[in-house]
């Protein structure tokens, strides 16, 4: 590489590594809890993860089914990020080469490989923060005699397995984990906690390399292989690569006013009003028909048949406990083109639950439903609407990249068994509102009849100024976000 | 003396005591449903708007579900007659285990005369506004719009 190219590449990397605080990626990605990297949510930039968030993540990991595996997966994730970053660095180097050859320059704003590097840097930085925090918490737990012995044993077991992996002899893993080890060791030495008193030197993460020369030599020896692996992974279309694509697509450099370009979208996963669809900002005459609490093999199927006959599509908010039981109904609804979303595991009152309960009702249910639907779950509705204004619940929903959905027409079909009375009530509310989201439940016979009658009534407005257009939630969100862009 | 007697009768308070918990909750549900529908016979009660009544229905729904799930209620044939007077055909059908009884109660509920529902709601309006349950529902009701 010529001196000029080397200088340019080095300058770019230095800039990358040191100046990320100057250029703020507008979507600083929130790290997923596991290195399987369930698609992280996109949120407003912040300089670092708060103590509260780190604590929440740690508690959730310890309460998960396999905390050891969850923690070890972080390391796999870190390695993945490192390898892909190497591949993007190679791409960026090529761009620079081409620019020099053409006597032109590379613009950071338009360079995709540069934006991807920034994304990987941020992901890596935040994951290392999280791992360090978890490691320190586990160390404290392992030596905290006030804790029951089984908790201390668990912490020690997790730490032991984690350290074994951290001390891997594999050259690529040595390079991937080197900085992390240094960070953890530094933190342990500086803290005045139980860990510093109780840890032996052998328990402190040690440097992977004897010196910088050895590190550089290993890097040069294996760089080509790392970049090749990184490229294969980056091109694999897996969740991480999709996330990186998605973030870099939307990435813009924030101007001096610090505007958040993401606010140009109407709806996106967020704890703010943009992350909650009620239908109040829908175009006039546009309605989303929604059904909660299924799937039910009898009533859901009947509803789908009616909607099919009437040529409209709806959105179903289901309970994971029912999804598991009625996969054929799940498949039927998907095949007919309706949208499927999440309504929790068991219809619990979410504000009454602790972190473990919420993990099951929100996180695990989403995972189950994603597998069942064969696609990511985009929308969530809290049972009884309870939790819609509770920050920790809304955050959990947004962190899973879901948008919360409320309603502005309540048919009360769960209380009222009379279909005609339900229809009368719904019509009244729809006529008053003009647009929005209608709430039914696909577990009651009266809802089957009432929703059919309601849609039939809506068709009487065809060709008039009061024409009603029924949409699914994915459709209207895409439409409104597309219009705003 | 007669005047005193008449006075004491006219100020007699109607309370919710004597009702099982689930029946009480169902009474409130019926009442709030009709308020939200704008039924003039009950809309003035408790100073509630239709929209407010709808928001109270959500925490009420949660409480009803919770109560029904306790499994402590037994619905028998007699309830098929009782419900015509107390307006509880719907909730009895939700609770009933016997499928025939469930169907029969459901049929009654789905064609229940609205006039009777209104009459039941009017009785409920006599006590519900001052009941602690009402205050609890107001505290628990969440605004529909995002509050963050």
Phi, psi of A380 (to 5 degrees): -135, 140
B66–chain A nearest CA distance, Å: 10
Question: Do A416 and B145 make contact, defined as CB atoms within 8 angstroms?
Answer: no
* Domains detected in chain A: 3-259 (no CATH), 273-484 (3.20.20.370)
CB A42 within 8 A of CB A29: yes
CB pairs under 8 A between A and B: 84
Interface test with B, best of A349, A412, A445 (most B CBs within 10 A): A412
CB contact under 8 A, A445 and B106: yes
> Does A424 contact B90 at a Cβ distance shorter than 8 Å?
no
Which tokens in the block code for residue A167?
A: 């001390």
Domains of chain B, by residue range, sit at 19-140
**CA distance linking residue A301 with residue A316, whole number of Å:** 12
Of residues A464 and A188, more confidence is placed in A464
Query: Phi, psi (5° rounding) for residue A437?
Result: -125, 125
Which tokens in the block code for residue B116? 């009777």
Q: What is the 3-state secondary structure (H, E, C) of A46-104?
A: CCCCCHHHHHHHHHHHHCCCCHHHHHHHHHHHHHHHHHHHHHHHHHHHHHHHHHHHCCC
- Asked if A73 and A34 count as a contact pair (C-beta separation under 8 A), the reply is yes
pLDDT, tens digit (0-9, with 9 covering 90-100), for B24-79? 999 999 999 999 999 988 987 888 889 899 999 999 999 999 999 988 888 889 99
From chain B, pick out residues whose CB is under 8 angstroms from the CB of A271. Answer: 146, 148
Place of tokens 């990435």: A251
Q: What is the DSSP string of B7-57?
A: HHHHTPPP-STTS-HHHHHHHHHHHHHHHHTT-HHHHTGGG--HHHHHHHH
Of B63, B21, B33, nearest to A383 by C-alpha is B63
Cβ of residue A462 closer than 8 Å to a chain B Cβ: no
Cβ separation of A385 and B58 shorter than 8 Å? yes
Which is more confidently placed, B147 or A292?
Answer: A292
Cβ neighbourhood burial of B55 (10 Å; 0-12, 13-18, 19+): buried
Burial group, residue A316, by CB count within 10 angstroms (0-12, 13-18, 19+)? buried
Q: pLDDT-derived band of residue A252, with 50, 70 and 90 as boundaries?
A: low
Q: At what angle do helices A67-101 and A149-166 cross, to 10 degrees?
A: 30
pLDDT-wise least confident of A144-158, A232-246, A347-361: A232-246
Residue ranges of B 87-126 with Cβ closer than 8 A to chain A? 89-90, 93, 106, 109-112, 114
- Shortest Cα distance from A410 to chain B (angstroms)? 7
pLDDT attached to residue B12: 41
Rounded to an integer, the average pLDDT of A170-192 is: 78
Which helix or strand (DSSP H or E) is residue A340 part of?
strand A339-342
* pLDDT averaged over every residue in chain B: 85
Rounded CA-CA distance A281/A262 in Å is 18
Nearest CA in chain A to B62: A384
| A484 vs A407, higher pLDDT | A407
Instruction: Kindly list the residues from chain B whose CB atom is less than 8 angstroms away from the CB atom of residue A416.
Output: 33, 90
Q: Which of B62, B89, B147 is the closest to A384 by Cβ?
A: B62
Task: Return d(Cα A55, Cα A76) in angstroms, integer.
Answer: 21
Shortest Cα distance from B9 to chain A (angstroms)?
34
Strands A286-292 and A469-471: parallel
CA distance B23 to B88: 7
Least confident of A225-229, A376-380, A384-388, A403-407: A225-229
Q: Do the Cβ atoms of A171 and A218 come closer than 8 Å?
A: yes
Contacts of A260 (CB under 8 A, 6+ apart): A26, A44, A45, A254
The half-sphere exposure of B68 on its side-chain side, counting CA atoms within 13 A, is: 18
Instruction: Tell me the pLDDT band of B86, cut-offs 50, 70 and 90.
Output: very high
Those residues with Cβ within 8 angstroms of residue B67's Cβ, 6 or more apart along the chain or in another chain = B21, B22, B25
pLDDT value at residue A245: 79
Over residues A224-231, mean pLDDT: 84
Average pLDDT value over all residues in chain A = 82
* B144 pLDDT higher than 60: no
Q: Report pTM.
A: 0.58
pLDDT value, residue A403: 97
**Of A134-138, A241-245, A446-450, which gets the smallest average pLDDT?**
A241-245
The answer to whether the CB of A92 falls within 8 A of the CB of A12 is yes
Contact B148 A278 (CB under 8 A): no
- Arithmetic mean of pLDDT, A357-374: 97
Phi then psi for residue A449, to 5 deg, are -70, -50
Q: Tell how far CA A315 is from the center of its chain.
A: 21
How close is the nearest chain A Cα to the Cα of B74, in Å? 20
**Mean pLDDT across A280-297:** 96
What SS3 state is found at A297?
coil
Maximum pairwise Cα distance, chain A: 82
pLDDT in tens, A263-278: 578 899 999 889 999 9
Interface membership of B145 toward A (CB under 8 Å): yes
Interatomic CA distance for residues B92 and B23, integer angstroms: 9
Q: Which of A114-118, A180-184, A403-407 has the lowest mean pLDDT?
A: A114-118
User: A370 falls in which pLDDT band (50, 70, 90)?
Assistant: very high
Contacts of B29 in chain A (CB under 8 A): 415
| CA A471 to chain CA centroid, nearest Å | 25
Please indicate whether residue A191 or residue A365 has the higher confidence score (pLDDT): A365
Secondary structure class of A24 (helix, strand, coil): coil
Q: How far is CA A244 from CA A27, A94, A251, A280, in A?
A: 11, 20, 10, 32
Please write the tens of the pLDDT for every residue from B104-114: 999 999 999 99
**pLDDT bucket at A9, cuts 50 / 70 / 90:** very low
B110 contacts in chain A (CB < 8 Å): 417-419, 446
The complex scores an ipTM of 0.81
Nearest residue of A to residue B144, measured between CA atoms: A406
What pLDDT, on a 0 to 100 scale, did the predictor assign at position A162?
87
Q: Pairing state of beta strands A28-29 and A42-43? A: antiparallel
**Looking at residue B143, what is its pLDDT?**
64
| Closest C-alpha to A48, from A77, A28, A22 | A28
Residue A409, by phi and psi: left (phi above 0), alpha (psi -120 to 50) or beta? Answer: beta
Which phi and psi angles does A254 have, rounded to 5°? -70, 135
**A204 falls in which pLDDT band (50, 70, 90)?**
low
pLDDT computed for residue A256 by the predictor: 37
- Asked if residue B16 has pLDDT above 80, the reply is no
Mean pLDDT of A133-148: 88
Q: Is the pLDDT of residue A3 over 80?
A: no
Instruction: With residue A241 as reference, give the H or E element that holds it.
Output: helix A239-250
pLDDT in tens, A294-351: 999 999 999 999 999 999 999 999 999 999 999 999 999 999 999 999 999 999 999 9
Give the integer Cα–Cα distance in Å for A222 and A209.
15
Q: Give the model confidence (pLDDT) of A423-473 as tens digits.
A: 999 999 999 999 999 999 999 999 999 999 999 999 999 999 999 999 999
- Tell whether A278 is within 8 A of chain B (Cβ): yes
């Amino acid at each position: 590489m010529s001196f000029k190219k080397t200088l340019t590449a080095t300058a770019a990397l230095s800039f990358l590594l040191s100046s990320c605080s100057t250029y703020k990626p507008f979507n600083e990605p929130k790290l997923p809890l596991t290195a399987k990297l369930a698609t992280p949510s996109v949120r407003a930039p912040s300089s670092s993860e708060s103590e509260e968030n780190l604590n929440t993540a740690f508690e959730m990991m310890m309460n998960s089914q396999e905390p050891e595996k969850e923690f070890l997966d972080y390391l796999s994730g870190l390695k993945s990020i490192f390898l892909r970053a190497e591949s993007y660095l190679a791409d960026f180097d090529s761009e620079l080469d081409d620019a020099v050859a053409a006597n032109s320059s590379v613009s950071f704003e338009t360079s995709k490989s540069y934006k991807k590097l920034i994304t990987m840097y941020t992901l890596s930085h935040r994951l290392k923060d999280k791992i360090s925090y978890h490691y320190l918490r586990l160390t404290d737990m392992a030596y905290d005699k006030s804790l029951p012995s089984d908790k201390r044993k668990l912490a020690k077991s997790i730490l032991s397995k984690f350290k074994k992996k951290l001390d891997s002899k594999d050259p690529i893993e040595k390079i991937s984990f080197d900085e992390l080890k240094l960070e953890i060791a530094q933190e342990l030495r500086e803290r005045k906690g139980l860990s510093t008193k109780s840890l032996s030197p052998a328990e402190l993460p040690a440097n992977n390399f004897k010196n910088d020369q050895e590190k550089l030599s290993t890097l040069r020896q294996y760089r080509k292989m790392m970049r090749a692996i990184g490229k294969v992974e980056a091109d694999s279309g897996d969740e991480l690569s999709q996330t990186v694509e998605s973030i870099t697509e939307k990435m813009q450099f924030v101007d001096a006013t610090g505007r958040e370009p993401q606010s140009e979208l109407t709806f996106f996963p967020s704890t703010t009003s943009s992350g909650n669809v009620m239908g109040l900002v829908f175009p006039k005459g546009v309605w989303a028909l929604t059904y909660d609490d299924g799937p039910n093999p009898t009533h859901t199927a009947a509803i789908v048949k009616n909607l099919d006959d009437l040529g409209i599509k709806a959105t179903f908010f289901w309970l994971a406990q029912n999804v598991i039981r009625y996969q054929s109904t799940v498949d039927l609804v998907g095949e007919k083109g309706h949208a499927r979303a999440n309504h929790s595991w068991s219809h619990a009152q979410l504000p009454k639950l602790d972190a473990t309960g919420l993990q099951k009702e929100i996180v695990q249910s989403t995972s189950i439903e994603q597998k069942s639907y064969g696609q990511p779950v985009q929308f969530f509705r809290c049972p009884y609407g309870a939790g819609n204004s509770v920050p920790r619940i809304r955050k959990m929903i947004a962190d899973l990249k879901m948008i919360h959905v409320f309603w502005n027409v309540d048919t009360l079909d769960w209380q009222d068994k009379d279909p005609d009375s339900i229809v009368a009530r719904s019509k009244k509310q729809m006529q008053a509102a003009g647009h929005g989201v209608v709430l039914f439940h696909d577990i009651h016979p009266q809802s089957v009849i009432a929703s059919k009658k309601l849609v039939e009534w809506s068709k009487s407005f065809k060709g008039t100024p009061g024409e009603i257009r029924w949409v699914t939630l994915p459709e209207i969100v895409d439409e409104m976000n597309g219009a705003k862009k | 003396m007669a005047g005193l007697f008449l006075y004491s009768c006219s100020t007699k308070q109607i309370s919710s005591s004597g009702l099982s918990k689930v029946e009480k909750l169902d009474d409130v549900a019926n009442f709030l449903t009709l308020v939200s529908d704008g039924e003039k016979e009950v809309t003035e009660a408790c100073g509630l708007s239709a929209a407010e009544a709808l928001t109270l229905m959500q925490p009420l729904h949660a409480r009803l579900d919770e109560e029904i799930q306790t499994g402590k209620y037994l619905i028998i044939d007699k309830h098929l007659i009782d419900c015509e007077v107390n307006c509880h055909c719907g909730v009895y059908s939700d609770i009933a285990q016997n499928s025939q009884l469930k169907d029969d109660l459901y049929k009654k509920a789905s064609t229940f005369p609205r006039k009777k529902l209104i009459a039941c709601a009017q009785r409920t309006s006599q006590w519900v506004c001052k009941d602690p349950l009402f205050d609890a529902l107001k505290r628990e009701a969440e605004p529909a719009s995002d509050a963050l």
